[in-house]
């Protein structure tokens, strides 16, 4: 099956994952599939944005700043000398790495990614080259990254690091600080050589094991600097990297921010990162917490399209999470305790859009298992699985194992759900199929007359957090792509074409 990609309203070729050496074996001895095996199994991770910006909680000199709170230095145009004073106020004695990791594990998360350095240039570890760090510049005097690495080891979670390689509003050569005229400007290459590169090397050599390195906001860097940073991935065997180092540095997986794509991109690993509330960093008075139902359905939706869900939480200045976040993580954990088999190790749904919910799938030893996630319980209790052709199926409710009747109905299968509706954000039916089966293909973008409908809801939007990026507004036939004010943003449409032709 051919795959075409329309990018920025032009047809082009998507860059694939790197394959080094013979048969895709990289310099560290791992193939791409070997690196990604545990990650594909995990499906669910915790993102943690934390830094000295949490001291202000998104407020500066009596003003509540817009957007995410970790951008406060930029949005408030705070001079470096003034911003540095926040470090003296950062003393989160209430932070306990084991508590965070246990909470992530209880929620069903399999990995944790922490912001080692965000755009403000403050290092949350004992940097050898940057005195503006949590050990040397704060009364806390503790290495937060070290504590989290050790806690993840104790509790069996994979650990990853976020690092802002280009934007650094504290270093004279870092990208992004356009307001502080007191900075003695130097080149971006000098910043990379003095700070970014040695810090990345230190993180990948002194804080092992690191499973993921998560770059962010690629911009304004020379090819030489990018190559230098890209080469650090070999310092940790099996290290997974994302696609945000720079153009033509695809990493191991793609990232989508705040928005779940309508269809998962085929042939690549991908992840959706999203804050549990409205802001990545702690924001005082943030009331935009997503409901437990939304969070669980997001997890299911992403898994049904073959992706991972990286859910962000933001500690306060005292090192704890708000009750709203803890309650939601506990509730997700309760759902996962019953239904995790329908998430871990699953692959994308074989169906198109389902009216009643989503589907995940597992295939093993000639048997296929479909996990039917019911968002909207049918009024008559009859769950129709469209376009499925199979000889023998067995169905039961995943929560208590109750068998449910299933029968072929034309080109569909009809499952009769129990009379009593489940009190759950998502109810799961486990459908086991023996032998051969098929699903009628669905291509919502390719029209009968050969035209290709590049609908807004089928687009993948690429924008940088903190910028005024694009988004899909409206739904259905009324959907459109709007607020396109970020010059770095772009749009793409992957299109499935079953046979050669003119389109």
Tokens of 275: 């804050």
Cis preceding-peptide flag for 368 (omega within 30 of 0): no
- φ/ψ of 33, rounded to 5, equals -65, -35
Domains along the sequence of the chain with CATH: 11-342 (3.20.20.80), 357-439 (2.60.40.1180), 456-497 (no CATH)
Tokens of 227: 């190559």
Query: What's the rounded Cα separation, in Å, for the pair 228 and 192?
Result: 9
Query: Which segments in the chain show pLDDT lower than 50?
Result: 1-23, 466-468
* Rg, C-alpha atoms of the chain: 24
**Centroid of chain to Cα 201:** 24
Q: Where are the alpha helices (DSSP H) in 352-493?
A: none
Q: Where are the alpha helices (DSSP H) in 309-467?
A: 323-339
Query: What's the rounded Cα separation, in Å, for the pair 115 and 485?
Result: 27
Taking all residues of the chain, what is their mean pLDDT, rounded to a whole number? 90
Contacts of 279 (CB under 8 A, 6+ apart): 58, 67, 68, 69, 70, 286, 288, 314
pLDDT in tens, 481-501: 888 877 778 887 767 666 677
In this predicted structure, what is the pLDDT of residue 331? 99
* pTM exceeds 0.85: yes
The half-sphere exposure of 231 on its side-chain side, counting CA atoms within 13 A, is 8
Please state, as a whole number, how many other Cβ atoms lie within 10 Å of the Cβ of residue 90. Answer: 22
In this predicted structure, what is the pLDDT of residue 75? 92
Reading across the β-sheet that carries 406-409, which strands appear in turn?
382-385, 412-416, 406-409
Q: Where are the alpha helices (DSSP H) in 43-185?
A: 72-75, 80-83, 97-106, 144-155
pLDDT in tens, 74-130: 999 999 999 999 999 999 999 999 999 999 999 999 999 999 999 999 999 999 999
Secondary structure of residue 129 in the 3-state scheme: coil
Query: What's the rounded Cα separation, in Å, for the pair 346 and 340?
Result: 10
Q: Where are the alpha helices (DSSP H) in 192-248?
A: 197-206, 223-230
Q: Where are the alpha helices (DSSP H) in 197-258?
A: 197-206, 223-230
Beta strands in 75-187 (DSSP E): 111-117, 158-163
Return the exposure string of 190-225: e unless at least 16 CB atoms fall within 10 Å of the residue's CB, then b: ebbbbbbbebbbbbbeebeebbbbbbbbbeebeeeb
- φ/ψ of 472, rounded to 5, equals -85, 125
Q: In degrees, to the nearest 5, what angle opens at C-alpha 400 toward C-alphas 399 and 401?
A: 105
In this predicted structure, what is the pLDDT of residue 449? 62
pLDDT in tens, 217-248: 988 999 999 999 999 999 999 999 999 999 89
Closest by CA to 479, choosing from 464, 463, 497, 491, is 491
In this predicted structure, what is the pLDDT of residue 22? 40
């Amino acid at each position: 099956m051919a795959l075409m990609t329309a990018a920025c309203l032009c047809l082009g070729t998507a860059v694939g994952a790197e394959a080094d050496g013979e048969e895709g074996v990289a310099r560290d001895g791992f193939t791409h599939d070997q690196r990604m095996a545990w990650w594909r199994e995990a499906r669910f991770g915790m993102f943690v944005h934390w830094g000295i910006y949490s001291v202000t909680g998104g407020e500066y000199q009596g003003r509540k700043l817009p957007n995410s709170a970790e951008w406060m230095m930029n949005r408030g145009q705070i001079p470096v000398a003034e911003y540095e004073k926040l470090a003296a106020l950062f003393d989160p004695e209430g932070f306990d790495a084991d508590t965070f990791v246990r909470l992530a594990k209880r929620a069903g998360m399999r990995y944790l990614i922490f912001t080692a350095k965000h755009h403000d240039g403050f290092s949350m570890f004992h940097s050898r080259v940057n005195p503006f760090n949590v050990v040397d510049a704060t009364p806390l005097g503790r290495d937060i990254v070290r504590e989290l690495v050790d806690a993840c080891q104790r509790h069996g979670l994979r650990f990853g690091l976020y690092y802002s390689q280009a934007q650094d509003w504290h270093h004279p050569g870092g990208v992004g600080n356009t307001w502080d005229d007191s900075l003695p400007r130097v080149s971006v290459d000098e910043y990379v050589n003095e700070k970014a590169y040695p810090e990345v090397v230190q993180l990948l050599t002194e804080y092992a094991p690191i499973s993921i390195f998560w770059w962010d906001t690629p911009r304004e860097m020379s090819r030489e600097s990018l190559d230098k940073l890209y080469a650090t991935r070999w310092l940790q065997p099996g290290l997974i990297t994302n696609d945000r180092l720079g153009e033509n540095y695809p990493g191991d997986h793609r990232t989508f921010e705040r928005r779940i794509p309508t269809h998962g991109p085929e042939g690549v690993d991908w992840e959706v990162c999203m804050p549990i509330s409205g802001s990545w960093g702690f924001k005082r008075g943030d009331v935009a917490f997503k409901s437990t139902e939304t969070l669980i359905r997001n997890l299911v939706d992403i898994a049904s399209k073959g992706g991972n869900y990286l859910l962000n939480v933001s500690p306060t200045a005292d090192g704890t999470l708000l009750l709203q976040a803890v309650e939601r993580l506990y509730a997700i954990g309760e759902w996962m305790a019953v239904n995790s088999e329908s998430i871990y190790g699953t692959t994308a749904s074989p169906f198109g859009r389902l009216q009643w919910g989503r589907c995940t799938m597992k295939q093993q030893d000639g048997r296929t298992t479909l996990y039917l996630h019911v968002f909207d319980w049918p009024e008559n209790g009859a769950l129709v699985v469209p376009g499925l052709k199979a000889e023998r199926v067995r169905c039961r409710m995943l929560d208590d194992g109750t068998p449910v009747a299933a029968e072929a109905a034309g080109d569909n299968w009809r499952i009769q759900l129990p009379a009593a509706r489940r009190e759950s954000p998502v109810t799961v039916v486990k459908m086991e199929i023996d032998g051969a089966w098929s699903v009628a293909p669905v291509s919502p973008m390719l029209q009968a007359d050969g035209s290709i409908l590049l609908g807004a809801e089928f687009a993948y939007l690429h924008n940088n957090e903190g910028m005024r990026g694009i988004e899909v507004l409206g739904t259905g036939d009324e959907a459109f792509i709007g607020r396109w004010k970020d010059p770095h943003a772009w749009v793409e449409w992957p299109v499935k074409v079953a046979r050669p032709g003119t389109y």
